[in-house]
Homo-oligomer: A and B are copies of this chain.
Amino acid sequence: MLLKNISVDCVIFGFDGERLNVLLWQADPQLLLKVVRENEDYEQVRILYESHPSLLTDYTWGLIGAHVPYETGLDEFAQDITSGSTGLRNVYLRQFQTFGDCNRVAYYRVITVGYYALINPRYHDLQMSPLTRKMMWFDIDHLPRLCFDHEKIIISALNHLRESVKYHPVGFHLLPEKFTLTELQTMYEVILGEKLDIRNFRKKIQKMDFLLESGEKQVNVPHRAARLYRFDKDKYELLVKEGLTFRI
């Protein structure tokens, strides 16, 4: 049985080295209707869709999300729909806010618990569930028309991420395993939405002293190859214990 009044929506952020993107999808309306008609579990959802057919003919994009099954915990379900809808596994996923305005979804009352994921698309092959009609990355600065209050949810997720990256090293989930200092700075700049002074930024990063030189350099670049670094999680945790304050 699905909880009719509770859903989970996941804002999946991917950083491609230059832009911060969000993964959005559209369900196949015919298949969706078939599934909700055949599956007893979806009875409540079926009634809603059948009494409000415009829900099915809405071709705007949406976040990956679904109603919560009665027997699945919220955190577990956020993992389930992320991996089930996209193929993404073992990703950084965190709850950030619950949206519960009365009219956030037309037709009936549904609150949604918002989670966001941080990935680097280089390490993940996207796999679409059979229900998916389209799935695509969109630049956070150029979002398409979105259903319900999903634009508001994405903006809230970005604001939460913006706070979080300043005080915690979560941004490294968006980077490749080995990255240049320029890629690191670009990642911060696209999240914070502002240019950072290169000298100040590098001074801050070097002072915190949790980056390891990998000994390698970029290859196949049209400019002088830059050094590649890694984030040293063990060292970072040791430094925090010794009193390090992370601050970008």
Contact = CB atoms under 8 A, between A and B. Distances in A.
A71 interface: yes
A54 to B, nearest CB: 22
Q: Helix, strand, loop or mixed for chain A's interface?
A: mixed
A109 B1 CA distance: 11
Contact of A109 (B3, B95, B167, B247): B3
A102 B6 contact: no
Contacts of A111: 6, 68, 74, 113
A74 to B, nearest CB: 3
Nearest to A104: B73
A245 interface: yes
Nearest to A72: B102
Contacts of A75: 100-101
Contacts of A109: 3, 70-71
Interface in A98-118: 98-102, 109, 111, 113
24 contacts: A3-B5, A5-B5, A5-B6, A6-B6, A6-B111, A68-B100, A68-B111, A70-B109, A72-B102, A73-B100, A73-B101, A74-B98, A74-B99, A74-B100, A74-B101, A75-B100, A95-B98, A98-B98, A100-B113, A111-B113, A163-B167, A166-B167, A245-B247, A247-B247
